[in-house]
């Protein structure tokens, strides 16, 4: 899995939020879960480094 910086995660999250507002879609919850996990991994990776 690719490593993202927190800013990359944030920018993708904002992009997804904007898309979500335009297209209601049942996978939104899944997308948010994935983003949450990616953010946690990025924070953890930073602590380890």
**Which tens digit of pLDDT belongs to each residue from 5-21?**
877 877 877 777 777 66
- Domains of the chain: which residue ranges? 6-48
Q: Give pTM, 2 decimals.
A: 0.39
pLDDT of the residue at 22 = 66
User: Is residue 25's pLDDT more than 70?
Assistant: no
pLDDT of the residue at 1 = 59
Query: Quick one: CA dihedral 6, 44, 37, 4, positive or negative?
Result: positive
Could you tell me which residues come within 8 angstroms of residue 46 by beta carbon, excluding any fewer than 6 positions away?
Answer: 6
User: Is residue 3's pLDDT more than 70?
Assistant: yes
């Amino acid at each position: 899995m690719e490593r993202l910086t927190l800013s990359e995660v944030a920018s993708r999250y904002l992009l997804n939020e904007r898309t979500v507002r335009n297209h209601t879609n049942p996978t939104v919850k899944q997308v948010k879960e994935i983003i949450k996990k990616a953010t946690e991994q990025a924070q953890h990776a930073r602590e380890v480094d």
